[in-house]
Structure 1
Amino acid sequence: MTTFSKSPFSSVNVSLEYNVTENIVHYNESQNENTFPDNRNIISLINLLICLPGLVGNGIVIWLLGFRIKRTPFTTYILNLAIADFAVLSNEIIRDIFSLLSWINSNFFPVYFSFLSYDIFMFTFTASQYLMTIISIDRCVCLFFPLWHRCHRPPHLSTAVCVIVWILSFLISAIDLTLLFAGYAIIANVQFVLNAVVCLPIMCVSTTAIFIKFSLRPAQKKKGKLLRTIWLTLFFFLLLAFPLTLVEVLSLFRHTTEYSYEYGYICVFLNSAINPMIYYLVGRDKRARSSKRINKVLEKLFKEEEDCRENQEI
């Protein structure tokens, strides 16, 4: 009999005992009456207010890039990122609805749902993290090696990379869930250490390089909005998505609290929801008297993909 305790992502503080031989899970709720249900329900409502607009925005991006706009190697990455963010937000919406309903009826929250919800989150969040890392690398290559990016880049590289990202993310989340069921929650956190060691430095260097390269451009060549959009997306990803990684790494040393986990997850959901807003705010014409519909703005923005021929003159 092994004991597993991982409460930050569940709707209540739970301790689960998993008997491998009999394949039985005993679900014991251990909740603080002073903090639950009030604080838990407030957090669930905040998450819903964040996730619902983001779900609509990412849905529009998926619809445009999937069915309306001719796909390019770069927009393939954006499409897959929108799919990952859409999955993160929809999973959280379902979890929060279950959480609110479980306040009315404590038996409503299924025993396995917390595990399944956490595994889906890890799968989609890991995919979005890897995709953002790849996007940052792709934009740096386009800026600093435009000739290779335009002429020698394999035509199906984006599709192949996205497939590899989804497969790798699924394997990581499956291993994570297996370790959690086996009672090795600390080992499962090692993947956040790898994210901090590998993804974070790459994205920091890439984001800084893109900012410097864009700042050195002549004024007439700073009109391209897509590069500015990608830089802001990377910046907010570093600002909002990596606090959770930091919390998970610090948890290895017992330097975290339940509220730090909640803050980390809220930041992740906010990051997944904010990307379509960035696309719209940067892509719209500020001089126009009337605001265009979001689908028109996004369609114009993604059709304006950075032309690497322009970069050859820099």
Structure 2
Amino acid sequence: MTTFSKSLLSSVNASLEYNATQNIMHYNESQNENIFPDNWAYLENIISLLICLPGLVGNGIVIWLLGFRIKRTPFTTYILNLAIADFALLNNEIIKDIIYLLSWIDLNIFSFYIIFFYYYIFIFSFTTSQYLMTIISIDRCVCLFFPLWHRCHRPSYLSTAVSALVWILSFLTSAIDLTLLFVEYAIATYLQFVLNAVVCMPIMCVSTTAIFVKSSLRPAQKKKGKLLRTIWLTLFFFLLLTFPLNIIEVLSLFHHPTKYSYAYGYLCVFINSAINPMIYYLVGRDKRGRSSKRIKKVLEKLFKEEEDCRENQEI
């Protein structure tokens, strides 16, 4: 994630007079470089807007329904917090895109402080999403392999406490990452690499594989549970769509990737945050019924935590 700041800040270097930018940028660009050296940045921001706007609406609906309209369960607490993190990430990107496009008219709109704020919100929300997905993957594995404990002995306050801890931890790690940028960008990159590729990704890969294998071994008559299918798809797409950005982060330790690589990696992240509500609805809806069924009813039926636990107890 630190590499994005280098790419973005270098493109607006002509409008920045803040000394700390020299520590964020790994290489020096011409001081007279135009904010839009070609049409790619303009096109990239338009594509980003088209991706983020529907996702913002979808996550907003999920937040409204799970937060105020549907009875809360321990598992939906995780989904609600995930939707909030995705909403924050997409909203942050939309604001940046709008300011970036307006800067075509007035170059002074884009300042160091705007980029600094954008970058912090991005790493904060993205890190929160990654931590929550890791927790969700562990929770579903425990539900699958230890259903009795998960249902009867799991503390009722565990989801709320873990979610609060995730937000605090994300805030602290993001603040540390941003602070390290002003010391040495490589240290911050190593920190994010350890958290992403060494801690979170392996846990999610193992959990996703375990969920897939466990569900595949079920008898045909018991292969139900839309919730399990939803979580597996959410984990799968998260791993698939965040993988390019993690690879770019690793490569940035050795050489500077192209701006097209950056764009692809971050667009994948935005797609991942935008498609989660669509996954909930498409998997949760009744295919034999009408597709116009209200999303509130779809989510109410989908997010019944006891469904998978009961099925596991019968295996």
Give yes or no for TM over 0.5.
yes
Q: Which residue of 1 aligns with 2:24?
A: none
Number of aligned residue pairs: give it: 303
Name the residue aligned to 1:31. Answer: 33
Contact 1:211 1:231 in 2 (8 A): yes
Taking a change above 3 Å as real, the CA distance of residues 113 and 305 of structure 1, as seen in their structure-2 partners, is: farther
One-letter amino acid matched to 2:163: C
Q: Residues 76 and 159 of structure 1 are in contact (CA less than 8 Å); yes or no, is this contact kept in structure 2?
A: yes
Amino-acid identity (%) = 74
1:24 corresponding residue in structure 2? none
Aligned to 2:141: 140
Matches within 5 A, 1:48-127: 48-127=49-128
2:245–2:265 Cα contact (<8 Å) kept: yes
Is residue 164 of structure 1 aligned with residue 165 of structure 2? Answer: yes
Shift of 1:178: 1.3
* AA in 2 matched with 1:177: L
Rate the CA distance shift 1:29–1:272 in 2: closer, same or farther, 3 A. farther
Report the residue type matching 1:234 in the other structure. L
Report the alpha carbon displacement of residue 295 of structure 1 after superposing the two structures with TM: 3.0
Higher helix share: 2
Counterpart Cα distance in 2 of 1:164 and 1:304: 22
Structure 1 residue 70: Cα displacement: 1.0
Q: CA deviation at 1:5?
A: 9.8
Unaligned runs of 5+ in 1: 21-26
User: Are the equivalent residues in 1 in contact too, given 2:120–2:174 (CA < 8 A)?
Assistant: yes
Q: Check whether the contact 1:85–1:273 (CA below 8 A) recurs between aligned residues.
A: yes
Shift of 1:17: 6.8
Gap change, CA 1:76 and 1:262, over 3 Å in 2: same
Partner Cα separation in structure 2 for residue 28 and residue 299 of structure 1: 55
Match of 2:193? 193
2:285–2:291 Cα contact (<8 Å) kept: no
Counterparts of 2:168 and 2:290, CA distance in 1: 46
Q: Deviations over 1:95-122 (max 9, x none)?
A: 0000000011111112211111001000
* d(CA) in 2 for partners of 1:241, 1:256: 16
Deviation at 1:244, TM superposition (A): 1.0
Question: Which amino acid in structure 2 is aligned with residue 7 of structure 1?
Answer: K
What amino acid does structure 2 have at the position aligned with 1:224? G
Q: Which deviations, in whole Å up to 9, do the C-alpha atoms of 1:236-287 show, x marking residues without a partner? A: 0000023212211210111622211111110000000000000011111111
TM-score by length of 1: 0.90
Measured against aligned partners, the alpha-carbon deviations of 1:103-144 in whole angstroms (never above 9, x if no partner) come to 111111122111110010000000000000000000000000
State the shift of 1:300 in Å: 2.1
Distance 1:29 1:165, change over 3 A: farther
- Asked whether the 8 Å contact 2:75–2:305 carries over to 1, the reply is no
**Please, which runs of 5 or more residues in structure 2 have no aligned partner?**
21-28
Q: Specify the alignment match of 2:247 in structure 1.
A: 246
Of 8-17 and 109-118, more deviation after overlay is shown by 8-17
Other-structure match for 1:23: none
Q: Secondary structure at the match of 1:223?
A: coil
Native 8 Å contact 1:61 1:79 kept in 2: yes
1:14 aligns with 2:13: yes
Paired amino acid for 1:287? R
